[in-house]
Amino acid sequence: MSGLRKPNAAMTALFEGPPTTLAARPSRSVERWHKPVFILFLMVWAMNMALVCLRIQPAAGWRWAEGLLPVFATATTLLALGRRLPLQNVFMTALVILLISAAILFLGAKSGIPFGPYVYSGLLGERIFDVLPWSIPLVWIIVIVNGRGIARLMMRPWRKTNYYGFWVIGLTCLLAMTLDLGLEPFAVFVKGYWIWQTPKSVPAWYTAPWVNFLGWLVTALGILVFSIPWLINKQPVKQPIDYHPLILWLLINSWILAGNAMHHLWPAVVVTLTTSTIATVFAIRGAQW
């Protein structure tokens, strides 16, 4: 990090907008709903954590309990984003991520590009055009918005340097990939959300081909390229440090980690625990700089 250059006004404006000025408050609707929705998310997360730790698979009529997790995680993610961005930016950010991720995932489910050959099981609920489970694009909103929030915390000491924006993008993509290292064994062996059709001759991580993780990097990068204009506040204001992305990221990772641990998938547990710890240390260190 020490090799980063001095601030460049054009580069800073490209990724973060003009310099901050006065403090401002988010809209009343965001303030009104932010805390209650986060509390609801915590309740849903606790219910799903209990199911995982007790190794209980919900019956067909109770799968809504799992479906609520991405719904409330997305809702609290976007409300937290609305505390520092105008609501139209939040809406467009969500729309761009949904459309791009859905398009790439449609391609992936049909052709195996860019993730590798896989099929979704029937455990993720209704499918869009009989191909893509409705909840999967929501996962990308959670991953991109919160991953970028953590990356901004990590890079806060260097936010006025020349390549700050590129570092934030790179770290966001890296965080997405590391989350998937724990998600793949969880989704395949704990929850049965999808099945990899990887040939035995292809190197894999819990049946997921290694090209899948490159696919996550490329997908995250593509989404960020198109959503960055909406993630920048054109009239930025001085704001308090926001730990919400880090907290939500750790809660999601702890759910994944618990499921993998209960099924004795220890390499996946070690990877999730290590990457989460590193992200937390650097995020808190950056925030307190």
- Could you state, in order of their start, the residue ranges of all structural domains in the chain? 86-287
> Tokens at residue 218, please?
């490329």
Banded model confidence at residue 233, pLDDT cuts 50, 70, 90 = confident
| Cβ–Cβ < 8 Å for 42, 248 | no
- Rounded to 5°, angle at Cα 159 from 144 and 237: 80
Banded model confidence at residue 65, pLDDT cuts 50, 70, 90 = confident
> Tokens at residue 212, please?
């899948």
More confident residue, 97 or 10: 97
**What percentage of residues in the chain have a pLDDT greater than 70?**
90
> Tokens at residue 200, please?
């035995």
| Cβ–Cβ < 8 Å for 140, 175 | no
CB neighbours of residue 89 within 10 Å:
19
pLDDT at 22 over 60: no
Average pLDDT over residues 139-168: 96
State the pTM of this model. 0.90
Residue 236: what pLDDT? 60
pLDDT at 5 over 90: no
Banded model confidence at residue 62, pLDDT cuts 50, 70, 90 = confident
What average pLDDT is seen over the chain? Answer: 90
Report, in this order, helix, strand and coil percent for the chain, each rounded to 5.
Answer: 65, 5, 25
Q: In the chain, count H helices and then E strands.
A: 9, 6
Start-to-end CA span in the chain (Å): 14
> Across-strand partners of 195?
119
Banded model confidence at residue 13, pLDDT cuts 50, 70, 90 = very low
Give the rounded distance of the alpha carbon of 248 from its chain centre.
Answer: 9
CA distance linking residue 24 with residue 190, whole number of Å? 45
pLDDT at 156 over 90: yes
Banded model confidence at residue 26, pLDDT cuts 50, 70, 90 = low
| Exposure string over 116-152, b if 16+ CB within 10 A, otherwise e | bbbebeebbeeeeeeebbebbbbbbbbbbbbbbbbbb
User: SS3 of 231, please?
Assistant: helix
Residue of 140, 32, 56 whose CA lies nearest to 94: 140
Worst-scoring range by mean pLDDT, 4-13, 25-34, 70-79?
4-13
Residue 69: what pLDDT? 97
Radius of gyration for the chain, computed over Cα atoms and rounded to the nearest angstrom: 19
Residue 20: what pLDDT? 40
Residue 25: what pLDDT? 59
Question: Helices 87-111 and 136-154 meet at what angle, rounded to 10?
Answer: 120
Residue 237: what pLDDT? 62
Per-residue model confidence as pLDDT tens digits over 104-127? 999 999 999 999 999 999 899 899
